[in-house]
A and B are shown apart, each in its own frame.
Chain A
Amino acid sequence: MGNVRERPAVGLADILVGASLLAIISIAIAWAAHAHPYTAESGRIALTWWHLPLDAAYSWLRMLAAYIISLIFTLIYAYLAAFNPRAEKILLPLLDMLQSIPVLSFLPVVLLAFVALFPGSRIGVNLASIVLIFTGQVWNMVFSVYHGFITIPRDLRESALSLNLSPWQRFRTMELPYAMVGLVWNSMMSWAGGWFFLMAAEMFSLGNRSYQLRGLGSYLQTAANQGRWGAELAGLTALVLVIVLMDQLIWRPLLAWADKFKMEMVEGADRPRSTVLRILRRSLILEWLGRTLWIPLTEWSDRIFSQTLPDIRKSGALNSVAGLLRWLAVAFVVVVAVTALEGALRLLGHLSLAGLEVVVLATLTTLGRVLAALAISVIWTVPVGVFIGLNRKWAARLTPVSQIAASVPATALFPGLVAVLIHMRGGLNVASILLMVLGTQWYILFNVIAGASAIPEDLREATRMFRLTRIKTWTTLILPAIAPFLITGLITAAGGAWNASIVAEYVSFHNHVYTTFGIGSIIARTSQDHSFSVLLLATGILALTVVAINRLIWRRLYDKAVERYSLS
């Protein structure tokens, strides 16, 4: 199927987009260089248990803010990319790159930039954490909604056109509903990813300065720092509780609700159910709200937007004011980009060859750790995942447990684990691999479970009938069948591992900084001692490496696996 449009490995647009990204990063760094020392709330996280609900609420609100921004951004970006051919040319490669860059490596830069924006106030740090969560969670949402928009069946599209629905009505009744299932799933994943970043972003120390925000993340870190394991446990319990509540009260009802947007014409056998949704649907209040609020609102929006929403599908010309404004905006962006790029190049001009060598070596070292982490994850998750996937009974029992285990962000466990692992042989060098495994194993496990449970019963019966040995069964049936799923899991896991490197290679604990050689620690260290040329170089090379590996290895492997081993 030609759902995903094929593009060459590297195109002109990629280079353009890459250059502008470099420019933007360097603007952020230049801004951060002006950062004023920030002194507010440091080290004053109270570890009393009755503060936990409030801490959890703070963290949750930050997540919510980031999610709302993500949602708005997603809808606009995906709509433009899907329906404006000119915008698509730029937005697509940009999306592709942004989603493969490890966001956590920008944490120091983003943090410093926002602290500089609001000197001496906690707004900056708060905004930084929100923006960071946003940049971590938005891309998969955009991608799924974009994918939904462009795969709307032609007949549906044409029926909307032939009924003369306005662009807003089309969006409301066709495009958004069609993309809804993907949006809900990806929102769930994005929240999980968001917790990961939030835990790391709430408390971050750069050298002798430490930035703290009240929240679960800083609570956990403080507890670990002070060695108060009771408090650490209480914090983790609160986190798990929040996650489980979210799952029961929001995600499950949403998933069950979104089931009606599936494009299937036969009722699926096991559709998601939710008691909460059933109760809501039967409640009179909701019905009343629908009648008195929702219907008038749609009527009103139809009338308002039908008149004002410009039809961006027809790319207009210069002859309108809008066109002129757009060209001005483009010109402005070009000027800024060129200036920034020039600055970036000047900054890179300060670099010595030795510096470059160190950064490349560090990248390779971290690459080694990422691969080791993936290998360890595969070794334990493939047998376990296949076992769970092939045994319906066990799957029913283990899936909820593993889902909860997986939803606990690895960064929340980091402080506690570091305390244990730091004294191991090999120190952080080895410990950081384990920390990465912690963050990545779940992606692989869930994909393997999905792959194994998708193996048709008749194929398994055939292997039994021919009395294939256990090894033969694995090589002829199980491994090929799970291959596409395993690779999908590996791709996501690799992204997670790169992200984790920044918090795993540079750990401050008990007022002491532990580091090990690697690209993550270089980024963390250089951003604290203001050697911005190395920081820019390191971030650039890291991004380049990840994008290159994604393009050259993962995507090809995936295409091959899908073509060869797909069971449908």
Chain B
Amino acid sequence: MASPIYRRGDRKSDSLVRLLGVTKTYKQPDNYNIRVLDDINLEIRPGEFIALLGPSGSGKSTLLRIITGLSTPSYGTVLYRGQPIEGPNPHATMVFQSFALYPWLTVQQNVELGLVAKGVLPQQRRQRAIELIDVIGLNGYEDAFPKELSGGMRQRVGFARALAVDPELLCMDEPFSALDFLTAENLRSELLDLWLESRIPTRAILMVTHGIEEAVYMADRIVILSKNPARIVADLPNLLPFPRNRKSTEFVQMVDQVYKIVTGWDEEDEDDLDTAELASPSQGGEARPRLRPIPYGHISMLSGLLELVSDRGGHDDLYRLGAELLLEVDDLLPVTETAELFHLAEVREGDLFITELGQSFVEQDINERKAIIRDQLKDIPLFRMITRVLASKANHAMNKEFFNDILEEHFSLEEAEHQLMTAINWGRYADIFHYDTDTEQLYLDEDQTGDPIPAETQDS
């Protein structure tokens, strides 16, 4: 475990929040449960600034909502100062990515809202709100409506509103991701100053983010979550001294270390699944092979990335690539995962290496590229399933809902839809099957029905 920095004389034993085996499952219509969080154990102590890092869809926001009491875990307990919480935790407040300001209330009224709920008298809450608006640097804007403010100023109101009730725990759900780069940077350092100089009475901060640099820049403890379902894969202390310099070697090293964990966490899992999946059909057993989710990579982005990396000599640092392309790890990962799935590239220790196949992909024209992708898709269970179904139907057509239903056995509703849409995109690109948006049917045309590959690969 990490040994976080303790300030303000808090004793180590005072844990603020404790999660014990928190698990969250969502019930599907057919009683099939999707597990989002799996056995999360976490302790938040006073004085800590924790960044909760993970890919999108990893359930970090769900975890945050469970900690604030907005959502309840399916199993496990959340203790606040040793007491189990019921309903929204009055000592925790939240800052939202979308700011979640009420457009019909003025800045002042928005900030006062939490105090209104507490039953603070008008005169006092006015005083307190004005103080906080001052601290957050918005004096003069008390009577403005949120729509008259810029994005950065709105988020300042969001902070002021959350801080007005003197929360012990400040939760932030990607608070800077809706802001432009400069505004976000400015707000980050201001918040950090408030926190480090103890100008706010907050005892601990928990920030959900997908920005690795942001986490390393602000937090003194970084908790990394995996996906499907979310587990804690790493819990790192970040002891870099403040003020932190993004250009310093230590900072870059730290970012690289986190990058390696984030990009490499599921390699072992994936291998396990691969073998499990290949094993079951060859045994001819009854067991239904588990469908592995396909990443949502866009083929055009994939081509662009491979061309770029190929120009740079066939390999490049992922973190640098992301920074240059202004892509967060969240946007970049699906593309690199797709490249790996098609055996066009490999990720090793935070670097992307183009394979031989990838090199020939880059050098070919669009039709040959399609052929390569078509070849790769044959080995992916989801596509084997789709083409087999379509080939075996007399009219070579099948409703989209049919596939949706199948996918819903494996994924959540939303995920199933997302998977199928990605599959349709790839299938259309590789010319394996067609999709008619009006009738919502997948079908094969004459050329495609003549292609017997899917069924046969399966059998051989």
Contact = CB atoms under 8 A, between A and B. Distances in A.
A155 B96 contact: yes
A266 B94 contact: no
A299 B122 contact: yes
Interface stretch (B4-12, B31-39, B99-107): B99-107
Given A260-B104, A262-B103, A564-B438, A163 B114 contact: yes
Contacts of A564: 438
Contact of B98 (A153, A163, A164, A306): A153
Interface in A127-156: 153, 155-156
B148 A162 contact: no
Given A163-B165, A169-B117, A158 B103 contact: no
Contacts of B94: 158-159, 162
A175 to B, nearest CB: 11
Nearest to A164: B117
Contacts, number: 76
B93 A162 contact: yes
A164 B114 contact: yes
A469 to B, nearest CB: 26
Interface in A216-273: 260-267
Interface in B78-128: 88-90, 92-94, 96-100, 102-105, 113-114, 116-119, 122
Contacts of B116: 165, 169, 173, 302
Contacts of B92: 162
A295 interface: yes
Contacts of B104: 177, 180, 260-261
A158 B70 CA distance: 7
B102 A164 contact: no
Contacts of B161: 159, 163
A180 B104 CA distance: 11
Contacts of B65: 158
B145 interface: yes
Interface residues of A, number: 31
Interface size class of B (residues with CB under 8 A): 20 to 34
Interface string B415-451: 0000000000000000000000010000000000000
B72 interface: no
A265 B113 contact: no
B103 A164 contact: no
A435 to B, nearest CB: 40
B103 A265 contact: yes
Given A265-B103, A266-B147, A302 B96 contact: no
Interface residue SS majority, chain B: loop
B55 interface: no
Interface string A162-203: 111110010001100100100000000000000000000000
Nearest to A161: B88
Interface in A305-360: 306
A51 interface: no
A445 to B, nearest CB: 30
B438 A264 contact: no
A461 B104 CA distance: 38
B263 interface: no
Nearest to A172: B116
A260 B103 contact: yes
A303 interface: yes
B27 to A, nearest CB: 15
Nearest to A564: B438
B113 to A, nearest CB: 6
B180 to A, nearest CB: 15
Nearest to B121: A299
Contacts of A164: 88, 90, 114, 117-118
A261 B104 CA distance: 5
Nearest to A261: B104
B446 to A, nearest CB: 28
A269 to B, nearest CB: 13
A160 B162 CA distance: 11
Contact of B113 (A155, A173, A260, A262): A173
Contacts of A174: 102
Interface in B164-213: 165
A177 B102 contact: yes
Given A156-B100, A173-B102, A265-B103, A165 B122 contact: no
| Chain B CB within 10 Å, residue with most, of A155, A169, A262 | A155
Q: In the complex, which of the residues A163, A265, A267 has the most CB atoms of chain B within 10 Å of its own CB atom?
A: A163
A155 B101 CA distance: 9
7 contacts: A156-B102, A161-B70, A164-B90, A164-B118, A169-B116, A261-B104, A265-B103
Interface of B: 65, 68, 70, 88-90, 92-94, 96-100, 102-105, 113-114, 116-119, 122, 145-148, 154, 161, 165, 438
Given A159-B96, A160-B113, 16 more contacts: A155-B96, A156-B100, A158-B94, A158-B100, A159-B94, A159-B100, A162-B68, A162-B88, A162-B94, A163-B93, A163-B165, A173-B102, A173-B105, A261-B104, A265-B154, A303-B119
